[in-house]
Structure 1
């Protein structure tokens, strides 16, 4: 993905809700968190096999 393409924060995954990439947030020292590095969600252990594959395709795992 080029640096000109917007990243998607909310990820629609089967088995868990409110899954978000926390990339792009400004840190206390003025830097930004990296995209596709950390997710927050409610129940990643409930991901369906298809959603697990999506995470692989997105580059998270």
Structure 2
């Protein structure tokens, strides 16, 4: 397992919401991102830190 994945505190992930929609986020282990399905954005996790900036999010394709 990638060590960066193990550094994210699961309790922190439960508390975070999408800064744009204020909706729930889903952790995608395979891409190491937090996904907001409502606005179709994926927020990266770098060195165990979720980057919760809309400008850093990746747009999800259909």
**TM-score above 0.5, yes or no:** no
Which structure dedicates a bigger proportion of its chain to strand?
2
Bucket of the pairwise TM-score, normalised by the shorter protein? 0.3 to 0.5
Higher relative contact order (CA 8 A, sep 6+): 1
The structure with more radius of gyration:
1
**TM-score computed with the length of structure 2 as normaliser:** 0.32
